[in-house]
């Protein structure tokens, strides 16, 4: 039970840090000053995944996967949804429907049992 509660903090922190940067980065996307953050996040994203594979303790997992991954994906993911609306200014409805239909088609998942094992 204790391990389950402790590991739930990693995902909770990660999801918070995915959506919280959208508050600040949304304005940066509107002014087109978000490119340097995209480049930094594009480097931090694979670094966080490589560091997750090297963790030995719980706090290393929190820092690598919860914090670093959450911030990197938050900087990349939330503005990517808004950018579609900026680029397709004149015909938003077809592109929004296209984006929603593509996300609905991602129902097949492949899981690898060894890919996300927690350190013992």
pLDDT tens per residue across all 120 residues of the chain: 455 677 788 888 888 888 888 888 878 877 777 788 888 889 999 999 898 888 888 888 889 988 999 899 888 887 777 776 666 666 666 666 666 666 655 555 555 555 555 554
Question: What are the backbone dihedrals phi and psi of residue 105, each rounded to the nearest 5 degrees, phi first?
Answer: -80, -10
Residue at 120 is within a domain:
no
Do 61 and 55 contact (CB within 8 A), yes or no?
A: yes
- CA 36-39-41 angle, to 5 degrees, is 110
Q: What is the pLDDT of residue 12?
A: 86
**What is the domain count for the chain?**
1
Do 32 and 82 contact (CB within 8 A), yes or no?
A: no
Q: Which domain holds residue 66?
A: 2-104
Residue at 114 is within a domain:
no
Q: What is the pLDDT of residue 10?
A: 83
Do 45 and 73 contact (CB within 8 A), yes or no?
A: yes
N- to C-terminal Cα distance for the chain?
15
């Amino acid at each position: 039970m204790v391990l389950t509660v402790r590991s739930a903090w990693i995902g909770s922190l990660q999801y918070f840090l995915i959506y919280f940067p959208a508050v600040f980065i949304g304005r940066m996307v509107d002014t087109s000053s978000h490119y340097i953050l995209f480049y930094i996040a594009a480097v931090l994203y694979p670094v966080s995944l490589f560091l997750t594979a090297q963790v030995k303790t719980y706090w290393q997992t929190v820092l690598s996967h919860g914090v670093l991954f959450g911030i990197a994906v938050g900087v990349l993911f939330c503005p990517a949804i808004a950018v579609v609306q900026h680029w397709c200014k004149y015909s938003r409805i077809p592109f929004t429907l296209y984006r929603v239909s593509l996300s609905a088609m991602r129902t097949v998942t492949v899981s690898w049992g060894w890919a996300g094992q927690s350190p013992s």
